[in-house]
Amino acid sequence: MKRRNFIQNTATAAALIGFSNMGYGSNPAEVKPSNGAKFKLKYAPGFGSFPELAGKDPVEVIKFCADQGFTAMFDNGLPGRPIEEQDKIIAELTRQNMDMGPFVLYADFKVESMVIKDADIRAMLVKKVNDGVELFKRTGVKHALMVPGRYNERMAWDFQTANVIDMMRELGEIAEKGGLTIVLEPLNKRDHPGLFLTGVPQAYSICRAVNSPACKIVDDIYHQQITEGNIIPNMDAAWSEIGAFHLGDNPGRKEPGTGEINFQSIFKHISEKGYNGVLCMEHGRSIAGKEGELALIEAYRKVDNF
């Protein structure tokens, strides 16, 4: 057996021994925290992060995550859930004193949307933001994620940038009046070719031009490691415009420790800057099954130890 595999298997076995002493039974919600401590930062699992250990009922998932020390959740698809289910989720989050990360308000990767001037697209985006405001008023979830869509191959880049700024000024004004914050997400060109918004510096320049507290950035560390790297200095340079974080190691887009990113140093830096928002765990697991779900929790324990 290779040394690396031996270490991984030994660590997993040791973790499982500890896990077996947690009182795990037929009900996943009976699982106790690995050490009872809350995480230092608001790492936010998705509702599908622990299907084996927590099941599929969103209320039970929240209870499980709270028991493991997490203080936030995220749900990209929150707007698509039935209202009664949204209400149950928010009620349990409130009971557990947990936050909710950004939901996806608009992210069509196939359409040239904000980069062009089109009356129908404008009306659609305005309606989306008004719907997001109503969702915020009902649930209290403040951050709504938007993607400006594809770039136009026939139009000068600067004209497209100006169109995005104009569109975000209008949408930002609606959002600000309603208490909502739009967070723009840059996405890497390798995984999502053809999109307009690809980097934190680019998103920063747009947010500065929009000049609204309702227009901020999702700094997705996985995407930005691919796109420009230099994560901490770029984070510092754009800090005034960062509204939320997404997480995922690179390569692989799995939990911290499975790739090349030094998440422990990054989280220490984020903590020292006084960030009190949510960091969405928007990534997969490197190991399948219950063992992988436990390894996911332990990976965050390790990088949270700063």
Of the residues 112, 241, 255, 282, only one is catalytic, namely: 282
Of the residues 92, 112, 185, 293, only one is catalytic, namely: 185
The residues pairing with 179 across neighbouring beta strands, listed in sequence order, are none
Instruction: Report CA 289 to chain centroid distance, whole Å.
Output: 22
153 is annotated as an active-site residue? no
| Residue 258 backbone class (left: φ over 0; alpha: ψ -120 to 50; beta: rest) | alpha
272 CB-near residues (< 8 Å, 6+ apart): none
Token duo for residue 271? 């903590």
Distance CA 181, CA 147 (A): 14
Cis preceding linkage at 251, omega within 30 = yes
Residue 287's nearest CA partner among 79, 39, 99, 15 is 15
185 is annotated as an active-site residue? yes
Contact 98, 66 (CB under 8 A): yes
Q: Would you give the DSSP letter of residue 80?
A: G
The residues pairing with 237 across neighbouring beta strands, listed in sequence order, are none
Residue 79's nearest CA partner among 105, 99, 45 is 105
Task: Produce one character per residue of 181-195: b if its CB has 16 or more CB atoms within 10 Å, e if not.
Answer: bbbbbbbbeeebeeb
Residues marked active site are found at 185, 282
